[in-house]
Each structure stands twice: as structure tokens, then as C-alpha cells.
């Protein structure tokens, strides 16, 4: 035990992980709480401890600042830094606890806060509608026709895809649309080709349906046609699931030539394409969907969770004529129909023009937040598409994704490592996804991004404790 006065305290860092300053602060915390450093003990100067530990003075300063933040030590100008009495401290957490004030940037939700007046107006209009009773029954015959006409208009306005109204099948959200498309296009045991990093909702779907997901290599323009042809032939796969526009998570949008090449391969090897376009509305300058290039082999799906509201559980499937009956059967066998109420409110929003207004506001919010993120994270976002509701951030050389996610969580900010999207056993890039529309206040997002930017500047010291 050290007696009060000048103390030759030296932290034991063995077995600790994380940035060095936090390992030192944690060792200090443990020694104080365990009584090894009694109240009043004078700690070594920043310079002495830095010399002893062979680290920079700045690291010791940060460690002491962290311990001071926790109320464990205090400085007196000219006299030094002293241990406080831990029994007289309020209960302070050693670090922010995930769960309390957690800034969750891991969910790709959408910025709905400003759109409530439009939603309320649509719901009121629907509740006054003479057709409400009819629409709330099992078979809202003319209602379904209206839902499909609005769906066709919406899809055309977002993607340019002209869709025959009788080809639209309403589904419960994007996930419901995916389920119906997969059920129609595959058989249990099938191999389904996917991007190597893909929307995680496809994994439980495949597991439940007894499908094998096989990754196809991508480059900066999306799926590589030669790789697609090779994998399809090798595994006898008959289905491809992909996101040509603002791919989740990489944000890549396939240019037109790449789309044409993918469609050509699909025709050559007999693939049905399931094209997921839930983010298409965010970028008005994207090339035509695969379904416009090859409507006979493409099941187009979209949902209104990102463009309107997740709670509507509204989406659409547009299958080729040959798969229409199977898609209808799949919806009927699982959920009977999509949510009429959600679909009718969505229809009202589309018909009244409110949906276009909302989509414009969403694009403006994304643009504002993307600019903010770029000011904060700079070059690390060069490969991340600025039209997207999330960032795809490639880590600087000295960071590993697990360490970054863990360290950030300790600072009460949650993001997703590339692992969350990976299919197969290929190499996973050192990258993370950060959703920028999941928190309402811009200041909250700004603070979280600055915490991230600061952390990225630090050396990742996790390995120092390893020998
Ligand atoms: C690419 C993609 N497809 C489908 C979905 C599911 O959409 P929904 O929330 O409407 O079920 C998501 C949700 O994040 C998604 O990112």
C-alpha cells in the first residue's frame, strides 16, 4: 500500500485492453477502489509516469483527465494530483453505460420526425373515406386495385420503372416482399447468390426456407459479372438476390453498363434476379432498375419503410408474369394479405402528393447529415455514396473493426461492423456501417461522429497488453 505523500505508483496494465490512456485510468480506478491507493495519495507527475511507462506525456494527461472525470482524483495547482476518497463520491460509472444515453447508429431507420403532420392528415382522410369499411374486410376488391395503382405510380416516380398495375402484389413491408419473392423464385435446398456483404434480413429468411446463400465477389461497381457467371455455373444456382442501388451496407450503386452485364449473365445461365430497391428513392439520378432491363427474369421488390414509415408495413412485389401466381400464393399462404390499413394510408399519401414531399424531405435530411459526416470524417468516406441513409466507413490502417465497435460502445455510441452483413467465409473488410438518420437531433449525431473521429485518430492500443 502507498502511504499519503509522494507515491511511486505504477499501474499494472497486464490483461487490460483498449487505448492506453484508458488502461491506465482503469488501473488507477481499480487501485483506488481496492484501497491500494488511499485517499490523499499523491500521484506521480505526468512526466515521471510517462517516462516510467515509456509513453507520451499526453497519454498520462488523458488518463488523469479520465480519472478526474470519474471523480477519483483531483489536482491542486503547484502541489500535484491526489487521490480522492472514493467512499465520498457519488456513484459514477467508470464509463458511459451502453443502454443509458446510448446513441444507436446501428439501425437503418429513417428520419420520420418532421413528417407526422402529413401522416396524421392521411390517416384522417382515410378514416373519413366511404370505402374504409370495405377496405377493412378480407377482400377489399376495389381497394386493392387502388392500392396497386398507387404502388405503380410510386414505383415509377422513384425508379422510372413502368409497371403494369395487374403485376403489383402488395406485401407487408420490404421484408414481407422479400419473403414472397424468395418463396416464389426458389425451392428448399436451392443455392441463392448474394452480395458478399448483404442486408442481414436475408439470412433468417434463407435459414427458414432451407436455402444456401453463396457470396459473389463485388468491386467498386457492384457484383462482378464474371464472378456471378462462375458461381452460378459452379453451384447450379438459379436465383440472385441483390441491391443494385445504394447497396446495403456498401452504398455502391451499379452503373448502367454493369447492370447490363449482370442481366446478360442472368439470361445466359438462367438466373432469376430478386432486385431489392428499398433505397432507390434516395437517388434520383440512378440508372434504370434491372427490372426495366430484364422484366422477364427479374422480381422487383420495394418497401415504404425508408421512403415513408416503417410502421405502415407496406411494400410491393413486381414479379415477371411467369411468377405472378406463385408470389400471390406466397403472400396468401403466410400473411393472407399485406396490411390493408398500412397500404391504404400509404395510398392516400401517394395520391395526395404528400409521399413525394416526404421523400424530398428525406433526401434533404440525408444530404445535410452526409455533409456533416464528411466534415467530421473526411477522406474515410470517399467510397461511401453521399445519397445514402448510412455511411460505409473504411477504417484507417491501425484500427480493427471489432476493437473500434467495442471502444465506441464504451463511449455509448453503437455502430455495426462489416461482420454483421457478411455471407460465406471470405475476407471481411475493415469497415463499419454508421446509420445517420436513426437519431432525431442533429447535435446528437454530430457529437457521436466527433467521438468516432477522435477515436479514429487515436492509436488502437489493444495489442499493447499482448506479449
Ligand atoms: C435492403 C433492405 N431490404 C429490405 C429491408 C426490409 O424493409 P422493411 O423494414 O420494410 O421490412 C431493409 C431494411 O432495412 C433493407 O435494408
Give the model confidence (pLDDT) of 129-176 as tens digits: 666 776 677 766 567 888 999 999 999 999 999 999 999 999 999 999
Q: How far apart are the CA of 314 and the centre of ligand 1, in A? A: 11
Compute φ and ψ for 348, nearest 5 degrees.
-60, -45
Please tell me the predicted confidence (pLDDT) of residue 4: 45
Quote the pLDDT of residue 341.
Answer: 86
Structure pTM?
A: 0.80
Probe target for ligand 1 pocket from 278, 289, 314, 437, with the most ligand atoms within 8 Å of CB? 278
Partnered with residue 70 across adjacent β-strands are none
Asked if residues 237 and 214 have their Cβ atoms less than 8 Å apart, the reply is yes
The alpha carbon of residue 88 and the mean position of all alpha carbons in its chain are separated, in whole angstroms, by 43
In whole angstroms, what separates CA 250 from the centre of its chain? 10
What integer is the mean pLDDT of 99-103? 75
How far apart are the CA of 277 and the centre of ligand 1, in A?
9
Rounded mean pLDDT, 17-31: 85
For residue range 445-465, list pLDDT tens digits in order.
999 999 999 999 887 655 555
CA 24 from centre of chain = 33
Question: Ligand 1: residues whose CB is within 6 Å?
Answer: 108, 173-175, 178, 199, 201, 243, 248, 276, 278, 303, 305, 310, 315
Hunting for cell 455533409 — which residue is that?
371
**Ligand 1 centre distance from Cα of residue 304 (Å):** 9
Peptide bond into 249 cis (omega under 30): yes
For a substitution probing ligand 1, which of 154, 175, 317, 433 has the most ligand atoms within 8 Å of its CB?
A: 175
CA distance 11 to 23: 9
Tell me the best of 305, 314, 331, 388 to mutate to test the pocket of ligand 1, counting ligand atoms within 8 Å of each CB and taking the most: 305
- The pLDDT tens digits of the residues spanning 27-48 come to 998 888 888 888 889 999 888 9
Helix residue ranges per DSSP H, 84-221: 116-128, 132-135, 141-159, 173-185, 202-209
Q: Measuring CA to CA, which residue among 302, 218, 298, 217 is closest to residue 264?
A: 298
Helix (H, G, I), strand (E, B) or coil at 377: helix
Q: How far is CA 169 from the centre of its chain?
A: 27
In this prediction, residue 246 carries a pLDDT of: 98
Amino acid at each position: 500500500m502507498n502511504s499519503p505523500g509522494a507515491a511511486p505508483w505504477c499501474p499494472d496494465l497486464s490483461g487490460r485492453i483498449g487505448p492506453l490512456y484508458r488502461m491506465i485510468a482503469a488501473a488507477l480506478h481499480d487501485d483506488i477502489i481496492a484501497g491500494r491507493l488511499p485517499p490523499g495519495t499523491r500521484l506521480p507527475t505526468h512526466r515521471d509516469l510517462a517516462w516510467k511507462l515509456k509513453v507520451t506525456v499526453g497519454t498520462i494527461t488523458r488518463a488523469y483527465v479520465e480519472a478526474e472525470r470519474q471523480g477519483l482524483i483531483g489536482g491542486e495547482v503547484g502541489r500535484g494530483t491526489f487521490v480522492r476518497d472514493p467512499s465520498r463520491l457519488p456513484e459514477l460509472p467508470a464509463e458511459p453505460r451502453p443502454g443509458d444515453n446510448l446513441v444507436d447508429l446501428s439501425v437503418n431507420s429513417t428520419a420520420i420526425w418532421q413528417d407526422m403532420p402529413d401522416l396524421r392528415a392521411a390517416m384522417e382522410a382515410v378514416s373519413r373515406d366511404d370505402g374504409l369499411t370495405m377496405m377493412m374486410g378480407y377482400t377489399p376488391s376495389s381497394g386493392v386495385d387502388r392500392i396497386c395503382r398507387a404502388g405503380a405510380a410510386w414505383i415509377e416516380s422513384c425508379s422510372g420503372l413502368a409497371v403494369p398495375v395487374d403485376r403489383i402484389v402488395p406485401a407487408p413491408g420490404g421484408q414481407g416482399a422479400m419473403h414472397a419473392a424468395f418463396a416464389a423464385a426458389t425451392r428448399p435446398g436451392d443455392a441463392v447468390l448474394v452480395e458478399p456483404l448483404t442486408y442481414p434480413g436475408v439470412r433468417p429468411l434463407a435459414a427458414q426456407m432451407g436455402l444456401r446463400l453463396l457470396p459473389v465477389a463485388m468491386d467498386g461497381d457492384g457484383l462482378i459479372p464474371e464472378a456471378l457467371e462462375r458461381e452460378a455455373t459452379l453451384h447450379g444456382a438459379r436465383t440472385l438476390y441483390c441491391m443494385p442501388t445504394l447497396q446495403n451496407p456498401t452504398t455502391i450503386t451499379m452503373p448502367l453498363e454493369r447492370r447490363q452485364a449482370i442481366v446478360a449473365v442472368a439470361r445466359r445461365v438462367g438466373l432469376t434476379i430478386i432486385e431489392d430497391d428499398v433505397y432507390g428513392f434516395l437517388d434520383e439520378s440512378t440508372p434504370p432498375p434491372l427490372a426495366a432491363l430484364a422484366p422477364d427474369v427479374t422480381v422487383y421488390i420495394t418497401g415504404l419503410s425508408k421512403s415513408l414509415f416503417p410502421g405502415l408495413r407496406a411494400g410491393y412485389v413486381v414479379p415477371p408474369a411467369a411468377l405472378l401466381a406463385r408470389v400471390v400464393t406466397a403472400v396468401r399462404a403466410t400473411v393472407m394479405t399485406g396490411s390493408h390499413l398500412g397500404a391504404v394510408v400509404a395510398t392516400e399519401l401517394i395520391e395526395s402528393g404528400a409521399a413525394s414531399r416526404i421523400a424530398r424531405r428525406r433526401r434533404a435530411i440525408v444530404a445535410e447529415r452526409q455533409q456533416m459526416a464528411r466534415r467530421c470524417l473526411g477522406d474515410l468516406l470517399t467510397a461511401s455514396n453521399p445519397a445514402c441513409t448510412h455511411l460505409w466507413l473504411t477504417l484507417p490502417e491501425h484500427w480493427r473493426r471489432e476493437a473500434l465497435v467495442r471502444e465506441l460502445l464504451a463511449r455509448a455510441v453503437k455502430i455495426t461492423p462489416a461482420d454483421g452483413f457478411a455471407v460465406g467465409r471470405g475476407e471481411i473488410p475493415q469497415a463499419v456501417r454508421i446509420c445517420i438518420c436513426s437519431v432525431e437531433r442533429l447535435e446528437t449525431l454530430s457529437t457521436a461522429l466527433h467521438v468516432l473521429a477522435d477515436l479514429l485518430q487515436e492509436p488502437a492500443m489493444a495489442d499493447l497488453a499482448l506479449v
